[in-house]
Amino acid sequence: MIHSLFLVNSTGDIFLEKHWKSVVSRSVCDYFFEAQERATEPENVPPVIPTPHHYLISVLRHRIYFVAVIQSEVPPLFVIEFLHRVVDTFQVPDLIIDINITDV
């Protein structure tokens, strides 16, 4: 289902990536960055972005984009719900903001 997960901060830097099935190049996020540039507000980035070989499904929480990369069509709401649950798991009072990336 989800091949890779990228965490992107508000300045557009990918600061964490996790791959499960196969390594997906960071360049796939260029499609996300293009959609981010076209959006007038951070909340207006489309949650589902089709690319030639993948689908990017993203959520924005705490000024961090959680971008999932999938290769086949799946119900997007399942992936969006999963991403929100991932954020909720980390959301012990302000942990998501204070997380030390070297500990991950």
Question: What's the total number of domains in the chain?
Answer: 1
What is the Cα–Cα distance from 78 to 100, expressed in whole angstroms? 28
Query: 26-81, pLDDT tens digit by residue?
Result: 999 999 999 999 999 999 999 999 999 999 999 999 899 999 999 988 999 999 99
The length of the chain in residues reads 104
The range of the structural domain enclosing residue 55 comes to 4-103
Q: 7 forms bridges with which residues in the sheet?
A: 16, 66
Smallest CA-to-CA distance from 21 within 78, 90, 72 is with 72
Residue 26 confidence (pLDDT): 93
Helices H / strands E in the chain, number of each: 3, 5
| Residue 92: predicted pLDDT | 57
CATH number of the CATH domain containing 42: 3.30.450.60
pLDDT, tens digit (0-9, with 9 covering 90-100), for 21-36:
889 999 999 999 999 9
pLDDT-based confidence at residue 11 (cuts at 50, 70, 90)? confident
